[in-house]
Amino acid sequence: MSLTGLYELMSWMSPSYPVGAYTYSHGVEYAVEAGFIRDLKSLTPWLQDVLHHGGARNDAILCAETHRAATNGDNDKLRELLELGYALRPTKELDLETTAQGRAFMSVTSEVFRSETSSFLKEAAVCPIVYPIAMSAAAADRGIPLNATVEAYLHGFVSNLVSAAVRIIPLGQTDGQRAIAALADDVEAQVQETLKLTIADIGSATMMVDWCSAQHETQYTRLFRS
């Protein structure tokens, strides 16, 4: 990957990139409220499950398949991925989390980084564009390699949830960094697995995460939108 590509990828995954990621917790806020997540020791396995069996795994597959389709100019596949990505949202708030970030990413990126695939997605979309598809389409067009795209997306996913936990539990900044460091091997393992998967492998088994997200809709005191 060129240094320009690396710079652009880091820009997109930076907390300063205005997609509003900091406003979402992926159900972590209710998991803390319910006592499922209390500290570093309980946060790390929760996030490991999201990575290997939940929404992060599905997002990684969508990233990879979008990147391949964009690289090969397969517009039919891109249309299929658009609809599948939108159909995968298990709750109202996780719908908001992925579509709002996808919309924000498309809006900002179209003004700063040229992407023909992103333009095609806007024209072809019959439903909102989810975040992993929006991000991966732009990455493919900028010549950013597939493995780096998926790794950056998963690192951003994990980092955002750790950041939420730092504020909610509250978890100290040092323990937050310990959590991110502890998940490094899990992110890498998921990247390597994702490179072998297709949309036929999409599926999740994190029902407690989905339940926490649904419960969060009526949580009395909330800092986050999901």
Mean pLDDT by 10 residues, the chain (226 residues): 82 90 97 97 98 98 98 96 95 97 94 89 93 97 96 96 96 96 98 97 96 97 95
Write down the domain spans for the chain. 29-212
Rounded to whole angstroms, the Cα distance separating 106 from 165 reads: 27
**Range 29-212 has CATH code 3.60.20.10:** no
| Per-residue pLDDT at 1 | 66
Alpha helices (runs of H) in 73-223, residue ranges in sequence order: 75-87, 92-112, 116-124, 131-141, 146-168, 173-182, 184-194, 207-216
Residue indicated by tokens 């499922």? 36
| Per-residue pLDDT at 3 | 72
Closest CA to 192 of 85, 52, 92: 52
Which pTM does this prediction carry? 0.96
State the helix-helix crossing angle for 40-53 and 146-168, rounded to 10 degrees.
150
